[in-house]
């Protein structure tokens, strides 16, 4: 169901780009914004693992450094039928984890020192399986594509804004300047909402995939409860641009802000996992 939802959201985001491109800049403007956004996001996609790991001062560990952690990942990756990723420890007491890398052959899983302190072996295996599921499903690539399209829409909106400022907006072509102004504001917000919805659907898929890899949905469900409490007790200084990568959202937000959240509510994630029992 979440796979179908992701496809539908991606189609919707693409149609929004085509529609906005036609209104704001025609085919030329749409193509220009799309190429620029592709270039920016391609660089992020290709070097994301190095950038993010360096940002959080993650240190690579091997079998000799963390034998228990290495053994867990080795067993889980065999169940998942994928190469073993590089392992990193983040020197931070906030319990959290994330996966990065452009494909299964160039992937990394990073866990904080805090998560190793509070989770049992079973709960930790659920978290690691969740991250392996992200890698297996190609979520980093999907996220990059969504960011590329959303970025192109935002660029088109900025182009239209400058065109209106310098008097080359819709009014020169007999269009409605008020409608154009409304679209400049609404289009980027709509693109962001769809992008966040895609991220949330991929989290649900990673939960389901992780539960199957670990062999017990209860492991991940219990881990999410502990991590939610741990993040509240020990907040983490996080770059908002990387918040979507973590298994538990390090940024707080409720109510209307949940629409802009990259993660589904923990309660709903746990409820879905418990239904898999």
Active-site residue numbers?
131
DSSP element (H, E) containing 89: strand 86-90
Report how far residue 43's alpha carbon sits from residue 199's, in angstroms, rounded to the nearest whole number. Answer: 20
Q: Phi and psi at residue 88, in whole multiples of 5°?
A: -135, 150
Q: Is 183:160 a contact under the CB 8 Å cutoff?
A: yes
Q: What is the dihedral of CA 25, 31, 33, 37, to 10 degrees?
A: 160
Q: What DSSP state is assigned to residue 277? A: -
DSSP for 43-88, written as a single string: HHHHHHHHHHHHHTT-EEE-TTT-HHHHHHHHHHHHHHTSPPPEEE
| Cβ pair 207, 227 in contact under 8 A | no
How far the first Cα of the chain sits from its last, in Å, is 18
Retrieve residue 205's tokens: 């898929």
DSSP classification of residue 238: -
* CB distance 118 to 234 below 8 Å: no
């Amino acid at each position: 169901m979440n796979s179908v939802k992701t496809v539908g959201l991606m189609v919707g985001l693409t149609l929004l780009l085509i529609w906005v491109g036609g209104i704001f800049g025609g085919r030329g403007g749409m193509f220009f914004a799309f190429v620029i956004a592709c270039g920016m996001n391609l660089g992020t996609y290709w070097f994301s693992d190095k950038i993010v790991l360096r940002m959080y001062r993650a240190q690579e560990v091997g079998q000799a450094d963390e034998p228990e952690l290495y053994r867990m990942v080795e067993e889980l990756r065999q169940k998942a039928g994928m190469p073993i990723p590089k392992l990193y420890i983040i020197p931070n007491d906030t319990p959290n984890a994330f996966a990065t890398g452009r494909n299964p052959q160039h992937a990394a899983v990073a866990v904080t020192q805090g998560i190793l302190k509070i989770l049992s072996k079973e709960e930790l295996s659920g978290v690691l399986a969740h991250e392996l599921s992200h890698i297996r499903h190609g979520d980093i690539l999907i996220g990059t594509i969504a960011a590329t399209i959303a970025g192109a829409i935002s660029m088109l909106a900025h182009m239209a804004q400058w065109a209106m400022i310098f008097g080359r907006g819709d009014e020169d072509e007999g269009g409605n300047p008020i409608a154009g102004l409304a679209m400049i504001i609404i289009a980027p917000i709509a693109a962001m909402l769809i992008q966040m919805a895609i991220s949330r659907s991929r989290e649900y898929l990673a939960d389901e995939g992780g539960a199957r890899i670990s062999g017990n949905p209860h492991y991940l469900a219990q881990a999410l409860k502990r991590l939610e409490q741990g993040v509240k007790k020990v907040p983490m200084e996080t770059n908002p641009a990387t918040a979507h990568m973590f298994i538990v959202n390090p940024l707080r937000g409720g109510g209307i802000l949940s629409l802009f959240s990259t993660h589904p509510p923990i309660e709903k994630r746990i409820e879905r996992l418990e239904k898999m029992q």
